[in-house]
Structure 1
């Protein structure tokens, strides 16, 4: 630092301390952390992080010699020694771009999508239900979603909808490399130094905190309305600018300091009376003369001042009165107190209480005041679905009035948006573009598109693994990586399912689709997110043994019953098809460390020639034995490509006879655009999977260049070589006749005998007409492949990885095992689902009285 600049800072230090404390001697008697806060407050050139109490306290605790220097400087008037040490210690270090920039960028880009509108509707409906249906515990709710999905931004953006948002982040003080930044004052009051507190003292702490919040909110709101001439939109815009939760602005810092000052005054009996008088001056006397049974004065109010809850309720009522007076009485949300990183409140304190229980009890106490309909909500946000369980306990302390409230909670909001930055399908003009990183990072959560590619890939690795490295022995990491690519299905009834899903959402980017109102069921998934699929592919193949070790971990979870294999071994099929493509893409392109590559393409999202892919999967035996048919098939698919990096699962048939808006080619193109293959629903006739096929032809549009591979999975011991002939793209449930050659495959994975055979008509291959279309007979343009066995003879590429063949064989065997290892149990299960099929075991109730021997014979 230049000498002149240092001298200017010294002059400002002395001048501001004299202004603030009167004399330097008076300043020497004040706590050192408070003096440092005042120094920083008076000089914007100093690091503003020390305006926060906890940072100033931590500095003084870690630097006791600095405290002594400060006291000496105040007594002597010579600040040179203190200033040199202080500036050397607190000079801010330039942040590493990869540490914070990639988290800050999503808050700088223009907001896109309707998630904030959905949250607005959700809060409006919650307010309506709260006042008209009754039975709800309090005016609080939650947002639960995995990292990078836009929870914080969505809450803050409520300001654009005319809502006053008071955002506070209570993340742990050790979590310094995250964004939005921590708000020290709310974090310290709500979540820290709780070990010495009782339930009653923590409840009082929350009551006093909300009292101070309501007081200063009402005061500032009145000031803004007066300043803007009662223009509501302008006043809220000013509030939004000065209280932006992503900025550490002076006005925002000052607001929380004012709240803290009031909090301290109410907590300290010596200053309580003065605080009460100030509080009464801020409140509307007409309003309180109507509300109070006796005249409200400082004297009689002080008599009941220790009733912290009533004090809070009065402050809240005054705030509601102000809001309704200025903004009208409707269910539209007017004020949202957003508490981010709220999972910190769910930790048990000394086996006595959970802060979340008591905080929500406090919210219930003020929000259940009769006659006040104002839409003021506390919204908790976290990656952890534990915040959806912030609820009332069965035992209520006698001093609490929360017993007047109901017990129902609002289900959490999860709809933070998806694909907000995706390119419109009509703007995708080249097939190779879909493999480019700049295209693929637009899909999924908004975090990816907001950053440079290198930062995005590094960030995706860390967030998917919840760490800087991939630990192949950590089942949560392994199932996250495999789940993102292979669409693992979780068995809800498994005792580990709830914990696994909770951990996946909180730590491994699993998406929370919904949580039921009773919080008993959490529906989660890994939606299509190509950048994560590429990262997962790289992690699985980064070391030679990783893929086998990961699949072994998965097999153990299949044996335990946590992972569902599918009755026909659909999971094994998904694994084989992707691993075959991974093997080919690593053969055709040079694998590189993903965060160091300069290539614009993502390796595991690259397209590969279809003919080479079929040969990689099945070897040269994939072509018909008849040379003429083989030559015709190779010619038909010589310009065809496949490109898929992950599987997505359907919940209904591909099509039905009533679909009037169906366009098969567009459906296939959309999956091609995000490198996705399709796992059909369980009830889909004829097939289990679809892989899009692209035919490269400069004279044809992308949409008219799409066809498909249809796959049927079987895991039984009996071969079904003719079933492949029944697969028809024109079937009403598929309806994907494209006029281009297609492929039908039957995989008989449970059959011991190894066989790969195919047929393809040797008749004239389809040719384009003058309009660029072809519509040959489907039998003439479908390559039909039958493959049996799960071994290296059927799938030669399995030999490339030691133990992979044996492992997949072992996994397939699980699909052939009965759902119940004990046959009597299986028959008892049949009795419990009468009428589920027309078969005797589901229809003959006479079986209910039979003994085990007779039952097994029937």
Structure 2
């Protein structure tokens, strides 16, 4: 028992050391200056309730670090209100959090907030008068920051900051005891601030009165929003509400307040304009701060380099790269484990996916598949999405306090995708069943053509080709890439003997296509792509057709991206890039697997040649017609709703469309969702895949599971589908 405790202590010590070193590395990016400009742009507004700004973003994105960087050039008084017992950096100011969050009636809380601000400004004035040195080059802001951060560790603040807030609370208590009913007491906080502002102007006269001279930072501010009410359940109030009311009195003074939070209490920090008009929340604290920028012209990267844990860690939020760079070998080797811990909301993954909640499952799947919340929904749905920001690393793109509309996403973060891969490899992890669970519990977009299902098929096949992870989440085969044949062998089952209806995809032959027709070639797929290398661990939704070009696809490979093409082009739904030969990532060495899916019963086991022909890599702009390449492509159409399953090789598609450039292609028509054809569809799990397919036809949900017969409901919406019931009550005969 003692040995386990000792190991745990040593592990925490290493974690804390990496975090502290990471905080002290150079700040990257201009986001502190962006924040300052945003503050300045809102200083003169008279239509807001008070001069404060909520900075809302998920964990590890650099909120606190951005404000710390701002404090090097502008006077910031920092306060961290994190709950006792929770881990994070910077450490909490326990006595301040206790003082501000102690329950009380609205009047009591209002007086407490007023006394606190008065004491805070008086103590800051005292420190500047006694500690500020004019004989050094550092500004007032720099010297005050050094005073407040000196000696800070993961566990506690330094002596100067501890003493600072001890003095603040002692002054606040004196103010409470001496409080009278005279007007002078009411204005005491304003007078205290005015004295501080006068000193700052005398020390640095160049400061403009139109910009804030003092910025208050309330980190982990959601603790202030806990609602309070009387025993009779009358009006509800909170510490934050009363603090905001007191801050309103400073609206004509050069004071600005920042409230930082990952919390789902965003609607409290940024109330609707129908109640109080507030400044729109600030979310842009940056992304990819520490990314290792690669070039396709100089120092050409290799697939081995881009799939290393070091490379993965430097994409996304700075938490990963900073920790990796500042950690020892044990920290570096456990990055996947740490990412899983963060993705699950601060819970260690113990190897049992069955113990994961719906929220945790959603967080995992959203790191691999482009799962989006729908925008029009009820407040309880909004709360579920906010929880994903607060606890499960989802990014807040924007929040409109007037309509309570929220836009969030799980952007490309390869280290989190690898963590999700680790957890999805648990025994009997049924991916479609877990997706169904997410669809049932959350208002997320299901798609309507089955694209999400096909992306899931490819993802499961990729994981099988890579192989199982070890205990720390690293692939046991020590590589995160596979060949094209290795992927396709896991995507489609290899039959004992190849037939026209179920070909052996590895021994399939291709054809050469140009504007005159197609010519069958003898080279089999397995040999042609033997030296290929494919790396992807997650999908992203792309919005512009331009991104199908290999110039973009090659760069997307840097971060393990496969593209779901939500571009309005009906001829292509997804692209997975690969390297045709060797390991170097060059545009002229990039090939693609293109696919379409159809969830319509009119597409059967009979191939539709036009769908395949339309996926022309030159007419679609994937390959540059001015620089033709000798790289074969693979084209697949999934006819998901077909009754008769098959995997057919289509060896004669006829001439290509709108191009004079010939290219080699391997074309396949995959029909149905049979475990005999599709490798990810395991025997015994067919119902999960079928249910997921039916869910993709989401428009039918309105006509199903009703107490009245389905036909009656279809009657209420004529002419929208080909079921006879949509026509028979108003046409003599159905089409």
TM-score, normalised with respect to structure 2: 0.82
Return 479-488 or 324-333, whichever deviates more. Answer: 324-333
Matched, 1:585 2:473: no
Matched, 1:784 2:667: yes
Instruction: Quote the residue 1:37 is aligned against.
Output: none
The match for 1:508 is 392
| Greater Rg over alpha carbons, structure | 1
Partners of 2:509 and 2:651 within 8 A in 1: no
**Shift of residue 350, structure 1, vs aligned partner:** 4.3
* Alignment partner, residue 810 of structure 1: 691
Equivalent residues of 1:534, 1:603 under 8 A apart: no
- Gap change, CA 1:561 and 1:482, over 3 Å in 2: closer
Select the residue among 356, 365, 372 that pairs with 1:489: 372
- 1:21-32 alignment runs, 5 A limit: none
Is the CA contact (8 Å cut-off) linking 2:271 and 2:278 kept in structure 1? no
Residues 434-463 of structure 1 deviation map (CA, whole Å, 9 limit, x = unaligned): 111011111111111122323432321111
Out of 455, 459, 465, the residue aligned to residue 338 of structure 2 is 459
Identify the residue that residue 530 of structure 2 maps to in structure 1: 638
- Which residue of 26, 47, 63 corresponds with 1:110? 26
CA contact (8 A) 1:170 1:341 kept: yes
Q: Which has the higher helix share?
A: 1
Q: What residue in structure 2 maps to residue 845 of structure 1?
A: none
- Tell me the distance in 1 between the aligned counterparts of 2:661 and 2:712: 47
Matched, 1:433 2:305: yes
2:644 matched to which residue of 1? 753
Aligned partner of 1:184 among 94, 97, 112: 94
Show structure 2 runs of 5+ residues with no match: 1-8, 231-235, 324-330, 495-502, 511-519, 704-710, 722-726
Who is 2:411 aligned against?
527
SS at match of 1:141: strand
1:136 aligns with 2:23: no
Q: What is the deviation of 1:783?
A: 1.8
1:145 aligns with 2:57: yes
Quick one: distance in 1 between partners of 2:522 and 2:608?
A: 19
User: 2:314: which partner in 1?
Assistant: 442
Paired with 2:476 and 2:293, the residues of 1 have a C-alpha distance of 20
Report the equivalent of 1:242.
147
- Residue 327 (structure 2) aligns with: none
* CA shift for structure 1 position 431: 1.8
Give the whole-Å Cα distance in 1 for the aligned partners of 2:24 and 2:442: 45
Query: Does residue 1:468 correspond to 2:340, yes or no?
Result: no
Q: CA deviation at 1:537?
A: 0.7
Q: 1:780 to 1:706 in 2, by over 3 A?
A: closer
Q: Report the equivalent of 1:718.
A: 602
Does structure 2 retain, via aligned residues, the 8 Å contact 1:437–1:602? no
Alignment match, 1:649: 541
Q: CA RMSD in A?
A: 3.4
Q: 1:809-828 residue pairs with structure 2 within 5 A? A: 809-819=690-700, 821-822=702-703
Describe the superposition over 1:648-669 as per-residue Cα deviations: whole angstroms up to 9, x where unpaired. 11123235xxxxxxx9333112
Q: Any idea what SS the aligned residue of 1:168 has?
A: strand
Match of 2:287 among 418, 421, 428: 418
Matching of residues 164-563 of structure 1 within 5 Å? 164-175=75-86, 177-192=87-102, 194=103, 197-223=104-130, 227-228=133-134, 233-244=138-149, 246=152, 248-269=157-178, 304=182, 308-325=185-202, 326=204, 327-329=206-208, 331-350=210-229, 352-366=236-250, 368-369=251-252, 372=253, 374=254, 376-390=255-269, 407-426=276-295, 427=299, 429-451=301-323, 452-466=331-345, 467-469=347-349, 470-495=353-378, 496-518=380-402, 520-542=404-426, 544-545=427-428, 547-548=429-430, 551-559=432-440, 562-563=443-444
1:64 is matched with none
Which aligned pairs between 1:648-727 and structure 2 lie closer than 5 A? Answer: 648-654=540-546, 664-681=549-566, 683-697=568-582, 702-719=586-603, 721-722=608-609, 723-727=611-615
Q: Contact 2:509 / 2:666 at 8 angstroms: preserved in 1? A: no
Query: Take 1:242 and 1:602, find their aligned partners in 2: how far apart are those partners?
Result: 49
Residues 447 and 645 of structure 1, relative CA distance in 2, 3 Å threshold: same
How far does residue 252 in structure 1 lie from its aligned partner after superposition? 1.7
Retained in 1: the 8 A contact 2:365–2:420? yes
Q: Deviations over 1:513-538 (max 9, x none)?
A: 11124261111111111111111011
C-alpha distance in 1 between matches for 2:564 and 2:442: 21
Cα distance in 2 between the residues matched to 1:346 and 1:112: 32
- Is the 2:56–2:283 contact (alpha carbons within 8 Å) kept by the matching residues of 1? yes
2:218 aligned counterpart, secondary structure = strand
